Structure 1
Amino acid sequence: MKQIHLFLFFLLSVHFANSQNYKSAFRTDICSCIEEESLKRNLTPNAYKKCYTEILPKYANQIDAAIVEEDLNKKYYLGQVARKDLVLAFQYELIYSCDIYFEYLNRTRTSEILIARERAKESDLESKNQMVAMSPNAYAYFHRAQLHFDLGNLKEAEADIHKSFDVNPNASNIQSTRHELLLLAGVYEEQKQYTKAIALYDKIYMGDYDSQVATLRALVDKKAGGSMSSIPKAATDVVSSKSNASERRRSTSKNSRSKRAERKPAIKNEKPQTKQKRDSASLKKLFKLGN
Structure 2
Amino acid sequence: MNSYIAFVIFCFGLLSVNAQTYKAAFRADVCSCLEEESLKRTLTENTFKACLRETLPKYAVQIDAEIVEPDVSKKYYKGQLARKALLFAMQYELIYSCDVYFKHLDYQRTSQKLIARENAKESDLEKYNQMVALTPNAMAYFMRAQLQFNLGNIKASEADVLKSLEVNPNKENEKATRHELLLLASIYEEQEDFSAAVALYDKIYISDYDVEVARLRALSDKKAGGTIANISKIGQVEVIKDNTSLKTIEKTSRRKSRTHKLEKKKDSSSLRKLLKL
Q: Report the TM-score, using the length of structure 1 for normalisation.
A: 0.84
1:10: how far off?
1.6
**In the alignment, is residue 201 of structure 1 matched against residue 201 of structure 2?**
yes
Amino acid at match of 2:86: L
Q: Are residues 207 and 4 of structure 1, via their aligned partners in 2, closer, same or farther at CA, if it must alter by over 3 Å?
A: farther
For 1:182, the equivalent position in structure 2 comes to 182
Quick one: distance in 2 between partners of 1:13 and 1:120? Answer: 55
**In the alignment, is residue 242 of structure 1 matched against residue 242 of structure 2?**
no
For 1:138, the equivalent position in structure 2 comes to 138
SS in 1 for 2:209: coil
Amino acid at match of 1:288: K
Judge conservation of contact 1:18–1:66 (CA < 8 Å) in 2.
no
Judge conservation of contact 1:207–1:234 (CA < 8 Å) in 2.
no
For 1:272, the equivalent position in structure 2 comes to none
Task: Specify which structure has the bigger relative contact order, considering alpha-carbon pairs within 8 angstroms and separated by 6 or more residues.
Answer: 2
Unaligned runs of 5+ in 1: 255-275, 278-283
1:91-240 equivalent positions in 2, closer than 5 A: 91-231=91-231, 233-237=232-236
What's the % identity of the aligned pairs? 58
1:3: how far off?
3.4
Quick one: distance in 2 between partners of 1:63 and 1:286? Answer: 14
Quick one: distance in 2 between partners of 1:204 and 1:140? Answer: 21
For the aligned residue pairs, the C-alpha RMSD in angstroms reads 2.2
Amino acid at match of 1:3: S
Corresponding pairs, count: 260
Quick one: distance in 2 between partners of 1:126 and 1:97? Answer: 45
For 1:8, the equivalent position in structure 2 comes to 8
Quick one: distance in 2 between partners of 1:194 and 1:237? Answer: 23
Judge conservation of contact 1:31–1:98 (CA < 8 Å) in 2.
yes
Amino acid at match of 1:108: Q
Quick one: distance in 1 between partners of 2:97 and 2:60? Answer: 22
Quick one: distance in 2 between partners of 1:187 and 1:51? Answer: 33
Judge conservation of contact 1:120–1:150 (CA < 8 Å) in 2.
yes
1:138: how far off?
0.4
For 1:281, the equivalent position in structure 2 comes to none
Unaligned runs of 5+ in 2: 250-254, 257-268
Q: Report the TM-score, using the length of structure 2 for normalisation.
A: 0.88
1:37-116 equivalent positions in 2, closer than 5 A: 37-116=37-116
Quick one: distance in 2 between partners of 1:184 and 1:21? Answer: 37
